[in-house]
Structure formats: C-alpha cells, structure tokens
Amino acid sequence: MSNNSIGLFDSGVGGLSVLREIRKSLPKESFIFFADQSHNPYGAKSEKQLQDLSYRITKFLLGHNIKLLVIACNTATCYAIDYLRSKFKTPIVGVVPAIRPAVTGTKKGKIAVMCTPATAKSSYLTSLISDYATFTSVLRLGCKNLEESIEYLEGGKITKLLDIYTDKIKKFGADVVVLGCTHFPLVRDDIEKGVGPHIKIIDSGKAVARRVKFLLAAEDDFSTKKLQDQYFTTGDPQKFSEVASALLKHKVVARKVFI
C-alpha cells in the first residue's frame, strides 16, 4: 500500500489524454504530470535526445517519490522505454500505437497509424507491425506538424492538416485508424468527421489505464489517501494551466521547472 503518486510525462498537453483515462479507472490515485513543453516537439528529436530528456524527467519525478512511471508519449516510449528500464527499477508503463486491437478490428485488412514522424519511422513500430500485423496492410502516417498545432491550439492549422491526413487514410482504404500520438485523442471528434462514420478509431488510453491498474494490484500498491495532483512544465506555466484546465474540466495550476 503506498500513497505515493503516479508520475506521467509527455512533450506537452497530449499526455493529459492518458491521465484522463487512468484517473477514470483509478480515482483514488494521485498524479504528478510533467509536460516538457520547452522541448516540444519530440517527434523531431533524435533517439539520443529523447533518451536524455526522458532520463532527466524520470530523475525529477523519482525525486518526488513516484511509485510508477507512465511515459504518456508514443514517441518517447518508442525511443526511450528500454533505456529507462535499464536505468531505473521503478515500474514503467509506456504508450505505443494500438496495433493488435486494430488488426483484430479490421474487416478490410487495412489499418492506418496516425503518429509523429519519429514514431512512424521507429524500429519499435516496425516490430509491433511484424509481431501483430503480418497479414494486414499498414499505412504508417507520420503526421508532420499536427502534434504542434494541437499543442498550441491552432484551430485553422489543425483543420487544414487533418484534411490532408484523413484524405490519405480514405485513399488508402483503411477501416481502422490507430491514434499513435497522445495528442491526437484531443481532436478525436475532428478526425472522426474527417474519415467518416464507417471507420473505427482506436487509441491506447484505456489499455494503459488497465495496465497501470494491473501493476498496482500485483504489488498491492493502491493508494488509500488522495493527495493534491501536481503539474509541472518546462514551458509557460500559465498557458499550460489554461489548456490543461480546459481539457481536464477542472482548475489546474502548473509550476515552472527546469531540467
């Protein structure tokens, strides 16, 4: 039994889509959310940079006694989860594109993965596809600039980019779309509108929440006392607080941090 918090990090507000799901399934747990906004976008970083940033953030969160770490970012998971696991003993849950459920769900044998350019070309995604999607056609759609436009809530740009990307999905003929970036569930309705009603959209949020619950249960590590959740950003705390408050539908006050 431990009342320590669960730590999460992302390059920005996208990880809040994961926090939302975990919180729904574990309302008594406390959370520390870290948004590395001064280094956003992660999708344009090298493996070395992603490992270095993830290491520094994990150190910071462990300094706040987290009992479990969630890498609430597909890109950082693909490039840094093995590295972090080799450095730290704390249980770590990552977020990766939900290839397996997409393969189960497709009737046409065609799925599309919307993700950052870095995730699209990662060997992690390649091995997920060769493990689970050998007989399925997969469109690896690195959605350049989409994550940033969601991070900065640039409505017009989001619409333009989604037109381009959803068009590619329709031309490819996928009947299942995987949201392989944690920013994308934040514009799920717009993606749904773009691809049309007959295409199924899947993200990893609920699966991550189930995994976190499973690990806490296995260690008998559920909290009995809810603490105040904490939010940190390497970017502008006021801006982050505004966006996070709107997304989570309660008041968030973030603090500035340097790593």
Residue in the structure block whose two tokens are 């799925």: 111
Pairing mode, strands 31-35 and 6-10: parallel
Of the candidates 181, 208, 244, 254, which one interacts with ligand DGL according to CB under 6 A?
181
Nearer to ligand DGL, 9 or 60 (CB): 9
181 is catalytic: yes
Looking at the Cβ atoms of 14 and 237, the one nearer to ligand DGL is 14
73 is catalytic: yes
The contacts found for 251-259 with CB under 8 angstroms, 24 or more apart, are 254/35, 255/230, 255/231, 256/232, 257/34, 257/60, 257/232, 257/233, 258/234, 259/36, 259/53, 259/56, 259/57, 259/60, 259/234
Name the active-site residue from 73, 78, 115, 143: 73
| 53-82 footprint of ligand DGL as x/- string (CB under 6 A) | --------------------xxx-------
* Identity of residue 83: Y
Number of residues that bind ligand DGL (CB under 6 A): 16
- Restricted to residues 76-135, the positions that interact with ligand DGL (CB under 6 A) are 116, 119
Q: What is the nearest approach in angstroms of ligand DGL to the Cβ of residue 80?
A: 11
Q: What is the DSSP string of 78-91?
A: HHHHHHHHHH--S-
CA distance 197 to 127: 30
Residue 258, judged by CB atoms within 10 A of its CB (0-12, 13-18, 19+), counts as: exposed
Residue 224, marked binder? no
Binding segment toward ligand DGL, per CB under 6 A, in 7-15, 81-89, 192-200, 218-226: 7-15
What gap in Å lies between CA 183 and CA 11, rounded to an integer?
A: 10
Choosing from 41, 91, 142, 185, the residue that interacts with ligand DGL (CB under 6 A) is: 41
Binding segment for ligand DGL among 38-46, 80-88, 96-104, 191-199 (CB under 6 A)?
38-46
- What stretches of the chain show up as alpha helix (H) in DSSP? 16-25, 47-62, 74-87, 99-105, 117-120, 123-132, 146-151, 155-172, 188-195, 205-218, 237-248
> CB-side exposure of 178: number of CA atoms within 13 Å?
32
- Position 203 contacts ligand DGL (CB under 6 A): no
CB of 227 to ligand DGL, least distance (A): 25
Candidates 9, 10, 81, 166; binder of ligand DGL (CB under 6 A) is 10
Choosing from 78, 115, 143, 181, which is the catalytic residue? 181
- Does residue number 42 form part of the binding site for ligand DGL (CB under 6 A)? yes
> Which residues in this chain contact ligand DGL in the complex, by CB under 6 A?
10-11, 14, 40-43, 73-75, 116, 119, 147, 181-183
- Would you name the residues annotated as active-site residues? 73, 181
